[in-house]
Structure 1
Amino acid sequence: MTGWLDRVFPRPLPSARQRPEEMVYAIEDRPPLPVVVGMGVQHALLALIFALYAAIAAQGIGLDERQIVAYVNATVLVMGCGTLLQALSSRFGAGLLLVTIPGAGRLPIQIALTLHYGLAATMGATIVSGLLAVAMARVIPRLRSVFPPEVIGVVLVMMGITLITGGVSRSVGFTQGTYELSVPAMLAAGATVACMVGTAIWGSPALRRVAMVAGAVVGTAVTALTGNMPAGNPLDMPWMAVPVLGLDLPLPEFHPVPILVLALAQFITIMDQFGSTLSMDRMTDARWRRADMAMVARSVTGLGLIHVLFGLTGTLPGGSASANIGLAHATGVAARRVGVAAGLTLMLAAFFPPLAGLLVMTPAPVVGGILLYTAAYMITAGMDLVMSRMMNPRRNFTVGLAVVIGTSVMLVPQLTREAPDWLQVIVQSGLTMGALAAVALNALFRIGVRKTVRHTLDPAREAQEAAEAMEYSGKLWGVRPDTVLRAGHAVGEALEALRESGVEGPVELSVSFDEFNLVGTLSYQGVALRFGTAETPDMAAMLDAGDDDDIDAAMRRLSSLLIVKLADRVRSAQKGAVAELRLSFAH
């Protein structure tokens, strides 16, 4: 049984992360208990703000006041379960600080399906979409070439751009059907952003840990001073309630059309989860090199399981919150133990309706300021990810055209008005269209790219030609610059070692790349060189002795050691009269 489980849901492997300088506590760090609790509460409070989407969904499907309270509480309970699952290092979660919130993009779908087909059909379709995510997670580790850094970078950029509309609208005082600028709203949003940015840039580590709270408090204070606090009294709600029990839930039903619609919508959520996971992974590892597809698979597995729970409770499904990633960036605290604390806090808050009600009443300009801060971080994180690889025209147009396509459906909504109703959920989402375009363009532009490039080196300038060949290949395949530089030095040292050993005649360099390794193979007429693991020679003693033969031998050993250090794997082979030296560089 365990063997089958390990094959289908692999256990997380130990990771060798290095904490970035700007990060106070990285993923596996153990912050002091007060920091864990304090930051966990902050993340829970930020997530509770977005429980407003659940209240809107409940109103949209026609629930009464009592049922709306129960609906929001049930949503908060599932949010806590999802946050806890993602924070735990297990085969069913990413082991990252990823906070679950209801999805704003799911609001119109949830309301429309429930009104047309009934809550039972929406519940069944949500359960199926969750199981679909679990199934898709099984193939994600094999899709690394489909999701290179430039594709994920586009997803992050589009995630940031999609936050701008909601952030700006709230920040300037736009409401449903009203588009008049509000000076008090702009003051409150500006104060929120300024406080968060100032704290993140100039604040001490202790102050950075309360950046979001400080920004929210300052923004709320400005809102109160201008007399624009939201109406309502959360104290009118019952002090305690058991989540879910207040809902009159039917048994799930399974109808083809709702299942198809939510299956398409699930792709949006999976891509969002993909980008959130890699953003947090990259932010917390100074030695980040490549997408950890196994981690992404566990993250999507957790997403799918939580969507099953959203379906069973009939609540509004969602994914990991970008705003909470922005909070982790602002505070420099990303320890997964904070995620555990946030999940437990949310689960506890679900039993106290006034708490959720109070947070739902957070002034809209304050929420807008938080969204704008997060949008800025997500966009720059995406750009940084795109530029982590060497660029060429193929990669430039993959990124540029994907962003153009994604933003075009946002800036020119008339483009999608004629699309069928069932397709609207896809074509109206800038994030989805940008992500789909990036994946499709990446696949298209890879056509005609050779997997192996061969060069016959001119003996008069072979080291320079080898370095140029490596740089050309790196741009062709999008290899990281540091890997290309390391490979160029190693191949140059290898060529010098070959000549020192007596090899004559031309040497052929073959370069290949498979997303995991950059490989340079030198083929020549002669005897294969063998590289041992000898200790570094004492050059000072050699020079003092003055024996030229000993010095030459020591230099050869140094060259061999340098090649072994630069390359991740070195292998020599003899094929008749032709010898090969294969240098592999992990990517």
Structure 2
Amino acid sequence: MTTSDPVLTKAAKPRATHPVDEILPVPKLAIYGFQHVLAFYAGAVIVPILLASSLKLSTPQLIHLINADLLTCGIASIIQSIGFWKIGVKLPLLQGVTFTAVSPMIAIGVAHGNGTNGLLVIYGAVIIAGLFTLFAAPYISRLIKYFPPVVTGSVITIIGIALLPVAATDAAGGAANLHPESGRNMAYAIGTLLLIVVIQRVFKGFMATIAVLVGLVAGTVIAYVLGDAHFTNVSSSAWVGVTHPFYFGWPKFSIAAIISMIVVMLITAVETTGDVFATSEIVGKRVGAKDIGRALRADGLATTIGGVLNSFPYTCFAENVGLVRLTRIKSRYVVASAGAIMIVLGVLPKAGALVAGIPNPVLGGAALAMFATVAVVGFQTLSRVDFHDHRNVVIVATSVGLAMYVTAIPDVAKAVPSWAQVLFGSGITIGSISAIVLNLIFHHVGKSYGPAIAGQPGDLIRLDEVNEMSKDEFVSAFSGLFQGPNWVAARAYSFRPFADTRVLRRAFQDAIFSANDEDQLALIRDYPDLGADSVHDDPASLRDQSSLDLLRLAEGEHEELGSLTAAYREHFGFPLVVAIRDEHGVDDVLRRGWERLGNSRNQEHAAALIEIAKIAGYRFDDRVASANPIHSARDRFATRS
């Protein structure tokens, strides 16, 4: 049998393993997992600390809540990353207690007498809300069609930006010891951040992937030497502290509390969906409705386990999404190893106390890099959004604006009734919900005619109308994008229907580059020379060339430009075509023009077509801007100014 035999070839060819499913060596799993734990720890323990303080719990009760939280975080993270049956999205997503639940849980606990009594009512609501999410997950996941890039990109961006103040607070000493005026705090934070940047710039491979871990350890060691890191709690902590189900007693059930916690889980589902999409973007693995359903089931199961094991509602932790992007380590088994480490910390209070000794400013410096990285993932997602459609501009701008309003001024939640404070208690919550609701209103409710792509306010041409045009109407509407003959618009018409303005734009490009050489050459020859008097008779060319004032050049520059265009036309037989709005100055136009004289005719033929496509793109943008009420208002304001 030869090696070309199809059976042997198929059998011998190894199946490629996706980086998400790669099982790394145990030492690397341990180191990368520990890095996740360090980045995660402060966010993991803050919820039980806040809750214990508000419900007037004792110190031993607080310690037990922290241990139970870490233990359940570990279990939940393994469930989400490893998965079983239809539970767990099988992506590198760490699970932690959702901040969205803090205010409602405090309200529930206080309303039922604080202390253990209030805690038991919270646990009853958490268990039922977890079961609700577990069974409702497949129905919630069917709403994925309402999460296009304009929504997911907004949510991911909001998550990253809204977390930055948390990092900044840590960098300034932490909420309990805030000293923004402290130069030492700033030195620790900026120093840690700079060390992470330097390691990623100087080193490659393994060292670059543990930059955050090295930054945290180095910052902590320096702080300890200088007397700013303390580990006194290590000696006073017990060696073993194992939680058991219903440690504080059997849960109690309140209808109002259960409804409140179900609302929290529905809101959390939006955040989880955003985190799943963000992680899928980072690791390069597409997700669909079934994956979202698996992630939400894991949230529901983890929340139910949390209620049984004396912890709270769980969701994907955005903090660690940024770490995955920063380190580029995509294996979900790294997160599983972090889960195992947290389980160990949950039963070894001394180990937890050691990790808790990391100074807040050091942690804040690392968090600045990680949280900002989440926002960058959001920017990447938004880059696929058609912002020529002003509806998308409104969706993103409004949702991000509301999120920053609540994030910058958290006390605005007090301006609304108590039942609505769960919505206004978090910038991530209000921003995410705004993006979803606005997307429904603008793109799914009522008759939509698509984005305005031509005309003037009051007499607009919208995308649906373009798709319904006759060929003559289409050519009449868009032939002005190009000089001379109308064949480009006529051929672009055959690419109908156009799903959005980007597809329409690509149709014109395809029409240009698929034409024969004769038609292409005729098109090129219809473009005027740069700076020529004839440009005054062509409004479109006049607008193009006026971006660098080519018609009002100094005498010396005008003469050199004339010499260049004449030499170019004589050499190649067609005019020098340049998308002037791409250029930074007349000197650049002249320098590049003289350089292009040294190219072959075929290369310049292709270059001219590319420049023509760019010019058409700018002219297309002009039409969209004039048809867009937001852009039109801006342009009118700029003109008056």
Q: CA 1:406/1:175 → structure 2, altered by over 3 Å: closer, same or farther?
A: closer
**Structure 2 gaps, min length 5:** 1-14, 113-117, 451-463, 476-484, 517-641
Q: How does 1:327-476 map to 2 (within 5 A)?
A: 327-391=323-387, 392-413=389-410, 415-446=412-443, 447-450=446-449, 453-457=467-471, 464-465=489-490, 467=492, 473-475=498-500
Q: How many residues align?
A: 466
1:69 to 51, 63, 66: 63
Q: CA deviation at 1:153?
A: 1.0
1:46 matched to 2:42? The reply is: no
Preserved CA contact (<8 Å) 1:220 1:363: yes
Deviation at 1:200, TM superposition (A): 3.1
Matches for 1:292-307 after TM superposition, within 5 Å: 292-307=288-303
Q: Are residues 348 and 368 of structure 1, via their aligned partners in 2, closer, same or farther at CA, if it must alter by over 3 Å?
A: same
Partner Cα separation in structure 1 for residue 342 and residue 401 of structure 2: 38
Conservation of the 8 A alpha-carbon contact between 2:243 and 2:309: no
Q: Residue 214 of structure 2 aligns with which residue?
A: 214
Q: Tell me how far apart the structure 2 counterparts of residues 434 and 97 of structure 1 sit (CA, whole Å).
A: 25
Q: Alignment partner of 1:101: what SS?
A: strand
Q: Contact 2:306–2:313 (CA<8 Å) still a contact in 1?
A: yes
**Stretches of 4+ moved more than 6 A in 1?**
490-493
Q: Is the CA contact 1:200–1:330 (under 8 Å) kept in the aligned structure 2? A: no
Task: Report the counterpart of residue 319 of structure 2 in structure 1.
Answer: 323
Judge conservation of contact 1:208–1:332 (CA < 8 Å) in 2: no
Partner secondary structure for residue 51 of structure 1: helix
Instruction: Report the RMSD for the aligned CA atoms in angstroms.
Output: 3.1
**Conserved? CA contact 2:158–2:375, under 8 Å:** yes
- Aligned equivalent of 1:270: 269
- Partners of 1:327 and 1:140 lie apart in 2 by 28
Corresponding position of 1:584: none
Q: Pick the structure with greater CA Rg.
A: 2
What SS class does the counterpart of residue 415 from structure 2 fall into? coil
Deviation sequence 1:465-510 (CA, Å, 0-9, x none)? 453686993435xx7x6x98499859998x99xxxxxxxxxxxxxx
Aligned to 1:526: none
**Alpha-carbon separation, structure 2, partners of 1:182 and 1:394:** 45
Q: TM-score normalised to the size of structure 1?
A: 0.72
CA distance in 2, matches of 1:43, 1:317: 20
Higher relative contact order (CA 8 A, sep 6+): 1
CA contact (8 A) 1:470 1:488 kept: no
The letter of the residue matching 1:294 is K
Answer yes or no: is the 8 Å Cα contact 2:231–2:353 preserved in 1. no
User: Which residue of structure 2 aligns with residue 577 of structure 1?
Assistant: none
Please list the CA deviations of residues 5-59 of structure 1 after superposition, one character each: whole Å capped at 9, or x if unmatched. xxxxxxxxxxxx999xxxxx82122323322232123223333333332344334
For 2:333 and 2:505, locate their aligned partners in 1 and report how far apart those are by CA, in whole Å.
37
TM-score (norm 2): 0.66
Q: Secondary structure at the match of 2:96?
A: strand
The answer to whether the Cα contact below 8 Å between 2:495 and 2:507 also exists between their aligned partners in 1 is no
Question: In the TM superposition, what whole-angstrom CA distance separates every residue of 1:232-266 from its partner, at most 9, and x where no partner exists?
Answer: 32121111222237x73222222122112222222
Q: Distance in 1 between matches of 2:322 and 2:52?
A: 28
Residues 60 and 415 of structure 1, relative CA distance in 2, 3 Å threshold: closer
SS at match of 2:27: helix
Letter in structure 2 aligned against 1:241: G
Which has more helix, going by share of residues? 2
Q: What is the aligned partner in structure 2 of residue 544 from structure 1?
A: none
Distance 1:411 1:164 in 2: 11
Q: CA deviation at 1:395?
A: 0.9
Structure 1 residues 456 and 18: alpha-carbon distance in aligned structure 2, compared to 1, 3 A threshold: farther
Q: How does 1:548-567 map to 2 (within 5 A)?
A: none
Amino acid of the structure 2 residue aligned with 1:66: P
SS in 1 for 2:329: coil
More strand by share: 1
Distance, in Å, in 2 between the alignment partners of 1:315 and 1:469 is 60
8 Å CA contact retained: 1:223, 1:229: yes
Find out whether 1:57 has 2:57 as its counterpart: no
Report the counterpart of residue 170 of structure 1 in structure 2: 170
- Specify whether residues 260 and 26 from structure 1 end up closer, same or farther in structure 2 by C-alpha distance, changes over 3 A only: same
Contact 1:159–1:379, Cα closer than 8 Å, also in 2: yes
Query: Which residue identity is paired with 1:262?
Result: M
Equivalent-residue separation in structure 1 for 2:412 and 2:247 (angstroms): 40
Q: Percent identity?
A: 23
Distance 2:78 2:371 in 1: 25
SS in 2 for 1:181: coil
SS in 2 for 1:126: helix
Q: Which residue of 2 aligns with 1:182?
A: 182
Match of 1:240 in 2: 240
1:98 equivalent to 2:112? Answer: no
Contact kept? 1:195, 1:215, Cα under 8 Å: yes
Partner in structure 2 of residue 196 of structure 1:
196
Q: Residues 467 and 205 from structure 1, CA distance in 2 versus in 1: closer, same or farther, beyond 3 angstroms?
A: farther
C-alpha separation in 1, matches of 2:507 and 2:203: 38
How many angstroms does 1:163 deviate by?
Answer: 1.1
- Structure 1 gap ranges (5+): 1-16, 20-24, 497-587
